[in-house]
Amino acid sequence: MNLIFTCGGTAGHINPAIAVANMMRERHPDCNILFIGAKGHMEEKLVPQAGYDLKCLEGSGLSRGKNLTAVKKNLHAVKCVREGVKACKKIFREFKPDVVIGTGGYASFPALYAAQSMGIPTCVHESNAVPGVTTRLAANKASRVLVAFEESVRHYKHPEKVEVVGMPVRREFIFDTKEGARKELGLSGFVVVSAFGSQGAKVMNETIADMMSLEQADGFPFHHIHATGSFGKEWMPKRVMDNGVDWKNCPALDIREYIYDMPTVMAAADIVIGRAGSATCNEIGASGTPCILIPSPNVTNNHQEKNARVLEAAGGAVVVLEKDCTPGKLYELIRSLLADEDRRREMSQKLHTMVRLDSAERICDIVEQLTQSEK
């Protein structure tokens, strides 16, 4: 069996693909798996680290602006798609995939389009309630469309091809234990983890940097692991230092660009603070770690706040809008949750009931059906 996974841009698109690929390799150890993504993005780190081969294409997302800069960017994006489709067809002729699986991001469109034009079965997974641009373009000719939410089905022209499967997460998020994770990481006491996407978020990096001054003034009451993202890896730690916090020589503070061992770190945490993309919400749900969600205000259809409110309504999360999230307010909220063990236990129980833990398995079942139908 030969499978191609195409995804990219952010970890939210990449990690679900890796979760399904891992499950397929468990089921079929002799399965040949190749990833296709975009140059200069997180897939160049995450995919090889997971043990898979990766081919990267030139790529560019579309701009919704109407000025000259936006027009130039969109023309460049169209050029990248044309060249990407051509490159993918060459890859397919050599690799001979049985199915091409796309999990989102503009990097996946050339591969899906090329596969559909060559008659290769395609499977598209959409993690958000409202389909993104790539999914909308690829869904009509896709063999199967897989969605995370029941309410998503109504957005597609061919609902008979749509199946609700949930959001795949890596098995480590499900099976890592708090005790084992803390032993592996050498941590004790309260642990707080904050991360705002693989690229990072400027406003939230500023908020966390300033909040670390409050942690210092309070004698560092918890161990804090923070991921700056690629855009904040230089200036955010400098801002912390400029605020008078010598984080490099402080055992309670751990600032890094990206948390590569997130299943273990999340399992060790008492509280996770982050955005509310579908992948993040499902990883938090699978781990059962109480969370403070701060939805990005810069996303289409405000889908992150919708995701966050679902977890909040179930009792598994506290939601704070970015515009309301001051360093002082966030710090007091953290201290309040850490002081209330019963509430954190209840939040963890609620989270565990919300996610479909068999999502990767269900997607693998569908991929296997597609490979059989072509024989």
pLDDT tens profile 67-114 = 777 667 667 677 878 998 999 999 999 999 999 999 988 889 999 999
Residue at token pair 């904040």: 232
Q: How confident is the model at residue 340 (pLDDT cuts 50, 70, 90)?
A: very high
For the chain, the domains span 2-168+357-373, 172-352
Determine the pLDDT at residue 97. 97
Q: How far apart are CA 296 and CA 294, in angstroms?
A: 7
The number of residues making up the chain comes to: 375
pLDDT at residue 25 greater than cutoff 90: yes
- The answer to whether domain 2-168+357-373 and domain 172-352 are alike in fold is yes
pLDDT at 167 over 90: no
Q: How far is CA 304 from CA 274, 307, 334, in A?
A: 11, 5, 21
Is 2-168+357-373 in CATH node 3.40.50.2000? yes
Query: 172-352: what CATH class?
Result: alpha beta
Q: How far apart are CA 174 and CA 270, in angstroms?
A: 16
Q: Which residue has the tokens 């400027």?
A: 202
pLDDT exceeds cutoff 60 at 375: no
pTM of the entire structure? 0.77
Q: Would you give the DSSP letter of residue 275?
A: -
Lowest mean pLDDT among 41-45, 316-320, 321-325: 41-45
Angle between helices 341-352 and 303-314 (to 10 degrees): 110
Other beta carbons within 10 angstroms of residue 8's beta carbon come to 31
Task: Supply the pLDDT for residue 65.
Answer: 66
Average pLDDT score over residue span 174-178: 84
